[in-house]
Amino acid sequence: MALGLAALANACDYRRGALDPISPEALTIDILWWVFFWTSLFVLTGVLIALAFALYRGHARGKSSDTRAELTPDAALERRTERAVLAASALSVVILVALLVGSVFGGRALFRTPQAPLHAKVIAHQWWWEIQYQGKTDSDSVATANELHLPAGVPVDLELHAADVIHSLWLPNLHGKRDLIPGHTSHLVLRPTRPGRYDGHCAEFCGLQHARMELSVTVEPPEVFSRWLTEQRRPAAAPAAPDARRGAELFARGPCALCHNVVGSEASASAGPDLTHVASRPFLAAGALPNSPLNLRNWLSDPQAFKPGAQMPPTGLRADELDDLVAYLETLR
Amino acid sequence: MTGRSSLLAGLALALALTACRREERRFSEPQVLVARRERAVAPPSSEPVAAFVDNAWSVSEGQRLFGWYNCAGCHSLAGGGGMGPPLRDATWIYGGSPEEIHRTIVEGRPNGMPEFGSRVPDYQIWQLVAYVLSLSGRLRQDVEPGRPEAIALGQPPAMTYEKKPVPANKGTHP
C-alpha cells in the first residue's frame, strides 16, 4: 500500500502542480488542501474502523442469541448507542464548522489584491493567450502570446479580459483559478517567489481546442526579467538573408499580415498572436507543438491537422514559399 | 401510446431532424487561394454555394471574419457603409448574386476595393459572401447570425445627474 502510494506520488509531476506553491496565495491553497486531505482521511479511517467493529460484534452476537432476544430492547445498549450517535454528530459538526471557517478565511486571503508595481494585461482568445506589458508610451509596451514572464519577488497585477467566450486562467503554482469574462475586467495579483518555468492552463471549457490553450510562465530574477522586457521592446529588424527577405515579403503581402502583427514591419493586424519575437517562445499555438523550425513549417502548411478548429486557416502556400516564410519567422527572436 | 400520438411524435421528430442541417461544419477545408497565381483563369469554385449560404456556422464565421479582415473598416460594422458602399441595401454596383459578390472579394473592384483572393482562402471568402447576403436579409431566417455584441462599440453613455444647488443652512449638520 505504502509502495503504491509512493509510486503514485512519483507519477505526479510536482513542477506542474498546485502542491508546489511558489507564492503566498498558492501556499494558502496548499495548506487548505492538506488540512482537508488529512481531516478527510482521519474521518474516513474512523468510520471504517467503527463499521468493522460493529460488523464484527453484530456477527458475534448473532451466533449466540435467537431472533426473539434480538428484538427485545436492551435499555443499556440503547443508551450506549444514543450516546455514541450524539458524540459522532457533535464531532462531525465541529469538524465541518472548522473546515468551513478555514475555507472562508483561505478564500478571503486569495481575493485580497495587494498593490503591485508592475501591471500586465492578459486577454484570452479562442484558443491562445495574449499578454501585454503596458509601458508609459505605446512604443514602451510589449505584446506577446502564450508566455508570461514574471520577476521573482515583485507583485504583478494582471488585468484579465476575454475576447470571445468565458475562459479561466489557472497558474497552479501561483494562485487559484480566475475567470476571464467578455465585457468584464477582473484582476489577479501574482506574487511569485521562486524562479523557474511553470505551466498555466485554461480551466473553463471554452470550445474545441480548450485542451490546447497553455500558457508558459517564466519566473526569473528581476534583472533578467527587465532584460527580457527590453529585448521584447526591440522591433523586428529587416532580415538580411535572401530567403528570409522573400519570406518577409510574402508575410506582408500574403495571407499572414491579415491577422498577425510584427512590430517593425508592415504587418500590423491584431486578430492573431503578435509574432514580433515568435522564434524565442517555448511553443507554438498555445502548447500544441514545441517551437522548432520543422514544427513551425508543419504548422504553417496545415494548422488544422494539429489543432482542428483553431482560427488559423490553411495558408495554401507552396513548399518553397513555406521554406522562405520559416526562414523569416526564425529571424524573429 | 396510441397509434395516432406515436405518429405525431414521429412527425415532430422528423421535423426536428431537418433543423440539424443548418449547423454542419467541416474541419478540413480545401486549401485554395483563388487568385493567387492563375488570376486570369480563376477556376470556378468547386464548392456548391448552398453549402455556405444555408449554413448558420459559415454565416457566423463570415461575421467574425468581416471584423478580422477589416471589411468593417470601410463598410462599417453590420455593413452600414462608410468609406465603402453600404451592404445592407438593395443597390449592388457590381452585382448582388453570391457568385458576383465572391468575384468582387476575390478580384477587388476599382476605386478602393482590394483583392483578397491571394490572401484569404476560398472557403472563407464564401463564408464572407454568406454573411454579406445575410446583411440585406436574403438568407433563410434560421441561419442568420444574431446581432453582434461588438455593435455597441465604445463606452455606454455616461449617466449624468443635474447638480442641484444646496441651499445654505440646509442639509448640513451642526
pLDDT tens for residues A17-49? 888 899 999 999 999 999 999 999 999 999 999
Could you give the 3-state DSSP secondary structure of residue A180?
strand
CB contact A316 to B (< 8 Å): yes
Task: Give the pLDDT of residue B164.
Answer: 46
Task: Give the pLDDT of residue B11.
Answer: 84
Task: Give the pLDDT of residue B26.
Answer: 66
With an 8 Å Cβ cutoff, are B118 and A258 in contact? no
What nine digits make up the cell of B146? 444574431
Task: Give the pLDDT of residue A5.
Answer: 59
Residue B157 pLDDT exceeds 50: no
With an 8 Å Cβ cutoff, are A309 and B119 in contact? no
With an 8 Å Cβ cutoff, are B27 and A309 in contact? yes
Domains of chain B with CATH codes: 51-141 (1.10.760.10)
ipTM of model over 0.90: no
Task: Give the pLDDT of residue B162.
Answer: 44
> What's the CA gap between A131 and A120, in Å, rounded?
7
Strands A147-151 and A178-180: unpaired
CB contact B28 to A (< 8 Å): yes
Proportion of chain B above pLDDT 70, given as a percent? 64
Q: What is the pLDDT of residues A56-106, one digit of tens each?
A: 987 776 665 566 666 677 788 888 889 989 999 999 999 999 999 999 999
Q: What is the pLDDT of residues A277-291, one digit of tens each?
A: 999 999 999 998 999
With an 8 Å Cβ cutoff, are A316 and B36 in contact? yes
Strand order in the sheet with A214-220: A147-151, A214-220, A196-202, A167-170, A178-180
Q: Which residues contact B68 (CB under 8 A, 6 or more apart)?
A: A258, A259, A269, A271
Least confident of A88-92, A266-270, B61-65, B165-169: B165-169
CB contact B140 to A (< 8 Å): no
Read off the pLDDT band of A140 (50, 70, 90).
Answer: confident
Residues 30-59 of B with CB under 8 A from A: 31-33, 36
CB contact at 8 A, B84 and B135: no
With an 8 Å Cβ cutoff, are B149 and A182 in contact? yes
Residues of chain B found within 8 Å of residue A254, distances taken between Cβ atoms: 118-119
Residues of chain B found within 8 Å of residue A269, distances taken between Cβ atoms: 68, 70
CB contact B155 to A (< 8 Å): no
Provide the shortest C-alpha distance from residue A120 to chain B (in Å): 22
Q: What is the pLDDT of residues A245-286, one digit of tens each?
A: 999 999 998 889 999 999 988 888 889 999 999 999 999 999
Task: Give the pLDDT of residue A230.
Answer: 92
